[in-house]
Amino acid sequence: MAVAPDCVVTIHYTLKDDAGTVLDRSSPEEPLAYLHGHGNIIPGLEKELDGKNVGDALTVTIAPADGYGEYDNRLVQSVPRRTLRGIKDVKPGMRLHAQTAEGARAVTVTKVLGDMVTLDGNHPLAGKSLHFDVRVGDVRPATEEELSHGHVHGPSDHHHH
């Protein structure tokens, strides 16, 4: 069957940046399964996969707007280290959950300078063009339960909400 909304699609993928550095890849034993048409993966890739068949391979470049969004400078803030109470050894590259005006948000520590810590609330892949090599491994209809939950249930999932 072809990839269409309400199907569970299994893909093998490699994700590279503009320089060709591999950012992420699915493991051979555990390819990525997702529910098509429900926003479970980035919009640009979901669109490219629509209508494809099992065994199809594609190489696509997804612009930031169709990936993890444009980089937003307003999501970068510097805070005094003492506001990160309870977190030891604050270092660049750490991922934290910070309280912001818009509620809790995942942030990355990008700089520690003296007593000031720079926190970046952008997704680590925001602003990047994403180069995917994708192969469609399997397509099956979703179960009613998966559709009502809006995501895939693996064979070994003991569920949950």
- The contact set with Zn ion (CB under 5 A) reads 149
**Smallest gap from residue 91 Cβ to Zn ion (A):** 35
Lookup result for tokens 């390819």: 31
Number of continuous H segments (helices) and E segments (strands) in the chain: 2, 9
Torsion from C-alpha of 131, 137, 142, 147, nearest 10 degrees: -20
- E-strand stretches of the chain: 7-16, 22-25, 32-35, 57-62, 76-80, 95-100, 103-113, 116-120, 130-141
Reading the block at residue 103, the tokens are 């509620």
- Contact, 134 vs 61, CB < 8 A? no
Residue (12 or 149) nearer to Zn ion, CB: 149
Nearer to Zn ion, 25 or 38 (CB): 38
Least separation in angstroms between residue 22's CB and Zn ion is 30
What gap in Å lies between CA 151 and CA 124, rounded to an integer?
A: 23
Q: Which is nearer to Zn ion, 35 or 130 (CB)?
A: 35
For Zn ion, the closer of residues 81 and 149 by Cβ is 149
The residue (of 12 and 153) whose beta carbon lies closer to Zn ion is 153
Report the nearest approach of Zn ion to the CB of residue 147 (Å).
10
Smallest distance, Å, CB 144 to Zn ion?
Answer: 12
Residue number closest to Zn ion, CB atom: 149
Quote the least distance from Cβ 153 to Zn ion, whole Å.
Answer: 6
